[in-house]
Each structure stands twice: as C-alpha cells, then as structure tokens.
Structure 1
Amino acid sequence: MTALTDNEQVELANTTFYEAVERGDLDSLSGLWLDGEESGVSCVHPGWPVLTGRGEVLRSYALIMANTEYIQFFLTDVVVSVSADTALVTCTENILSGGPAENGGELGPLVGQLVVASNVFRRTPEGWKLWSHHGSPVLAETTEETDDETPE
C-alpha cells in the first residue's frame, strides 16, 4: 500500500471532521482541532460571530450537536491546496438537518441548506489538524445573465 499524498491526507482529515459532526462525536471532533492556547484556532458558523480559542470553538460544536437531532453533509466542489505545513480546503456543504423530536417522538422536519466553507489545516506530528473553519450561507443561486439584465 502506498503512502497518502499531503492532498489525500488533508482531504481525509476534512472528511473525518464532517463525519464526526454527523455522528455528534465531540471527543473525535476535539481530537481534530489544533491543541494549545497559542494555536489561535477560530471558527465562523453561518450567521455567528467569530469564535476564537479552542475552548470556545469546541463549546459551539457541543451546543450545535445538543440541539441538532440529525445532520448530514454532502460535500461538493472540494478543492485542496497544500503549501508547506498549511492546507486550505474549500467546499460546498450541502446540509440536510432535522431539529429536535416533536410531540410524537418523531424527528422534526428536515431542512436543506447550502453553505460554502473554508477549512484551514496545519501539519502537526499527529497529522493534519484544523486551525480554522469558516462557513457562509449561500443566500441566492447564481444564474446566467439574460438579455433583459444586460446593460445597454
């Protein structure tokens, strides 16, 4: 078996991040983020302010996991760029999620959402670790210009 390239390792780390969120596995998720106060980790969830520091970032994921009964990510447009010990992954998160159970004990309505994300990783002796995550909602679909919209 051949060793994975840096790009393949980063893409695997990125996929592992989303899988941990889907499972609601805070312990695994914690192991994916850079450790140490000097690490400068940050996170921007769609519609949230910037969260800084490992503790604040992990608390945000604990809150999201506690209030989301079901979440699944379908990643598209994944692009991995590696430069020395830093890597950038950009992707579109096609999210399907459901809220807390309703009166009958059934999962709340499922909601779809598109989010574009940038995930920055740093190489460590333990492998690639998340340094920053930034998700921004896609508010409008892009369409090609029509003749009516073309300036005269």
Structure 2
Amino acid sequence: MSRTDVELVEEANTAFYETMERGDFEELSGLWLEDDISCIHPGWPLLSGRGEVLRSYALIMANTEYIQFFLTDVTVSLAGDTALVTCTENILSGGPAEESGALGPLVGQLVVATNVFRRTSDGWKMWSHHGSPVLTESDDEQGNETPS
C-alpha cells in the first residue's frame, strides 16, 4: 500500500525534529532544499540561503547538550508540490554540561512553528521553517505591568 502525500510530509516533518534531537548535522542538511531556503528561529532575525540557515543549526547543535521535541496540534495542508505544516513544539532542552560534567538545567519552551516543504525527486524537502515563541500567562502579565 502506497503512502499518501500527507503521510510522506508528516514523515519529513518528524524526521526534521528527530534529526535535531540526535544532533545529526549531516542528516539535517539533507532534509533541506539545495537553494532558496529560509529560517526564523524564535527571537532571531530572518536567515536566508543554505549557508546561513545550516550554520544556525550547527551553532544550535554545538550549544545544546540535550533537546527533545513533543509535537502537538500538527496539521498538514497540500497545494500541488508545496506542503504547509503547522505545529506546536513543546521543547525540553539543556545547555552544555557544567564543570561537574552534569547536564545543565533543563528548560521547557513552547514554540509554534510553520514548516514549508517542497516535493522533489528525492521526496519532500524543507523549504522554510519559522518558529515563534508562545508567551505564557505569567510572561504576558509581566509585560503589561505598569511601573510603580
């Protein structure tokens, strides 16, 4: 039984996050289109082109000892050879190990993401990734406080 395009896009999207968790830069590089790609990490400026985008992932991988993504609210929309995936990234991450060799403190973060894929002869490849942080109620309340 052949897999549907939606299933293939879901697999490509899952592979992107699993590759990040493993810190496999070579495999991650192969998941992106060869040209004309873009990426916006939460809090970062727009990154354009394969060199800039892949350098950003190399930097993130080098400075992240542990990362795990729990994806929720995943939706896939198809239009010809383009697929749009939206999802919520429930991220658990830890920085480089401390002097004692123990993993740095784990931090939880909520990010909503839009991933755009394009169909190629080698399957569905990432064209653009845009992640935006979700502010929690306490973050929002702090931002709305009036100075005393």
TM-score normalized with structure 1 length: 0.89
Match in the other structure for 1:104: 100
Q: CA offsets, 1:88-139, max 9 Å, x none?
A: 0000000000011112100000000000000000000000000000000001
Task: Please say if 1:126 is aligned against 2:125.
Answer: no
Match of 2:84 among 75, 83, 88: 88
Which has more radius of gyration?
Answer: 1
Separation in 2 of the partners of 1:22 and 1:54?
A: 20
C-alpha displacement at 1:85, in angstroms? 0.1
Separation in 1 of the partners of 2:84 and 2:41?
A: 17
What SS class does the counterpart of residue 52 from structure 2 fall into? helix
Separation in 2 of the partners of 1:123 and 1:43?
A: 18
* Runs of at least 5 residues in structure 2 that lack an aligned partner in the other structure: 138-148
Separation in 2 of the partners of 1:140 and 1:108?
A: 23
- CA-atom RMSD, angstroms? 0.6
Q: Residue type matched to 1:6 in 2?
A: D
Task: Please say if 1:24 is aligned against 2:20.
Answer: no
Match of 2:50 among 54, 63, 77: 54
TM-score normalized with structure 2 length: 0.91
* Runs of at least 5 residues in structure 1 that lack an aligned partner in the other structure: 142-152
Match in the other structure for 1:146: none
What SS class does the counterpart of residue 3 from structure 1 fall into? coil
Q: Residue type matched to 1:129 in 2?
A: K
Q: Residue type matched to 1:9 in 2?
A: L
Q: Residue type matched to 1:63 in 2?
A: L
Determine what percentage of the aligned residue pairs are the same residue: 77
What is the number of equivalent residue pairs in this alignment? 137
Q: Which runs of 4+ in 1 moved over 3 A?
A: none
Q: Residue type matched to 2:103 in 1?
A: L
